[in-house]
Amino acid sequence: MQNVNTTNQNPDKIVDSKFQMTGSLTCFNDDNQDGIVIQLTSLEEMWYTHEENVDHPVGSEYPVSINVPHMKLMRDRVIDSVFNRTGINVKDYDGVIHASSSGPDHGHNLNVVRNV
């Protein structure tokens, strides 16, 4: 079995946000079939943005790569959780976009959108 965790991470690696994060999945089809937006739970959003998804090794000033095996594991965990919670299988759609944003905190609002 492949180890999905990164090793020897930089002690300055960013592992938490001072902002509350919320997220959603926008599921769409390439034809005219209806899509859907699914609000993620806090735990599902945490899995999507898990610190182990980014590799920031000791000795490196900046992150160097994405930990793809871990990121895929977390993505699959979110997909399974959404299915168990809602009965919606996001794999039935042609595409899925994950969006996250921080809640209002001292006038800041950070937004991230990415394909999954």
pLDDT grade for 14, boundaries at 50, 70 and 90: low
Count CB-CB contacts under 10 A for residue 13. Answer: 15
User: pLDDT at residue 1 above 70?
Assistant: no
Q: How many CA atoms lie within 13 A of 95 on its CB side?
A: 8
Q: Report the distance separating Cα 6 and Cα 36, nearest Å.
A: 34
The percent of residues in the chain predicted with pLDDT above 70, rounded, is 69
Which is nearest to 100 in space by CA: 90, 79, 114, 80? Answer: 114
Phi-psi region of 22 (alpha: psi -120 to 50; beta: other; left: phi over 0): beta
- DSSP for 3-30? --S--SB-TT-----SS-EEEEEEEE-S
Which is nearest to 90 in space by CA: 25, 22, 24, 23? Answer: 25
Give pLDDT, residue 83: 94
Q: Output 14 or 55, whichever has higher pLDDT.
A: 55
Q: Report the distance separating Cα 45 and Cα 28, nearest Å.
A: 20
pLDDT grade for 64, boundaries at 50, 70 and 90: confident
Question: How much is the average pLDDT of 87-92?
Answer: 96
